[in-house]
Amino acid sequence: MSQPFDILPILLRGAGITIELTLVSAVLAFGVSFLVGFGRLAKFKLIRIIAGVYTEFFRGTSLLVQLFWVYFVLPLFNVNLTAMQAGILILGLHFGAYGSEVVRSSILAVPKGQTETGIVLNMKPRQILWRIILPQAFLIMIPTFGNYLIELLKATAIVSLITLNDLMFQASMLQNTTLRTTEVFGMVLLIYFCLAYPLTLGVRWVERKISVGRA
């Protein structure tokens, strides 16, 4: 295979790890977003405080430091995680903290009249939440969640610093062994773009659909 495509198979193996890391982290972040988002709106003050502290901690500290703490510090307390597990955990918790604010604000954005309508129909609070509030709030969440998914994909590059053989790790190894810096990182740029651009198009398509639906 001619240059620069001779390095492509190695980079694509790393891209496979990047995709896996992105998908699993996104699932975790999605679940955390709703769990903590609901916690921010809970009736009990203690739950609201815990959810608020969690959100501010993960939003207010460096993603890189969080990753290093989990991978390098937790083993000192006999908690050992693989590089993949550490990456999934921290990316999921970090972006889940941002997503929780999206959940909270989207639920609050639904007009109070909708809740009053549910009460008039003699619906229970849980029914009002699942049948009236959440379907409308979810439409508000989708565009921002889509943008966070793209950011999560790009953030996966930091896991190369804990030796997970993702796209960036493979690129760094290739650069060190071949010294073909321009070719290696040029290919990496293209691969990240090819991964992120379909997500960007998907987010724009969803935003247009939502805009049309509200018109």
Query: What's the mean per-residue pLDDT of the chain?
Result: 89
Q: Which percentage of the chain shows pLDDT scores above 90?
A: 53
Structure-token pair, residue 112: 């109070």
Is there a domain that residue 104 lies in?
Answer: yes
Is there a domain that residue 158 lies in?
Answer: yes
* Tally of CB atoms within 10 A around 176: 10
For the chain, which ranges sit under pLDDT 70?
A: 1-2, 4, 211-215
Structure-token pair, residue 135: 């379907």
Is there a domain that residue 5 lies in?
Answer: no
Which SS3 state, helix, strand or coil, does residue 1 take? coil
pLDDT, tens digit (0-9, with 9 covering 90-100), for 133-171? 888 888 888 888 988 999 999 999 999 999 888 889 888
Number of domains in the chain: 1
- Tell me the CATH number at 105: 1.10.3720.10
Which SS3 state, helix, strand or coil, does residue 78 take? coil
Contact 92, 128 (CB under 8 A): no
pTM over 0.75: yes
pLDDT the model gives residue 73: 95
pLDDT the model gives residue 74: 94
Domain containing 34: what range?
10-212
Is there a domain that residue 37 lies in?
Answer: yes
